[in-house]
Amino acid sequence: MTALATALSGSPRAIFAPSLQGGAGIGRVLADLLPAVPPGSVVLSAMTAHVNGVVHLPMTAAITIREMTADVA
């Protein structure tokens, strides 16, 4: 629903924001399955992986997520 709303708005975040939300949701589910790993690291890693899968720019995804969160998950 979020992807549709942002895509219809014509906003430049039409791909980026839903990718972050999707990756965070996937990371939260994975964090429950991996109790030995800090949840924040799992969520940030999943966000980076999901954004990378959408934009196909791995270094850009990693650097953007790191700069947004000031964390090196």
For residues 23, 57, 14, 33, the Cα torsion angle rounded to the nearest 10 degrees is 0
pLDDT band at 61 (very low <50, low <70, confident <90, very high): confident
45 C-beta neighbours (distance < 10 Å), count: 19
pLDDT in tens, 21-56: 888 999 999 999 999 999 988 998 998 898 888 888
CA-CA distance, 23 to 10, in Å (whole number)?
22
pTM of the predicted model as reported, rounded to 2 decimal places? 0.72
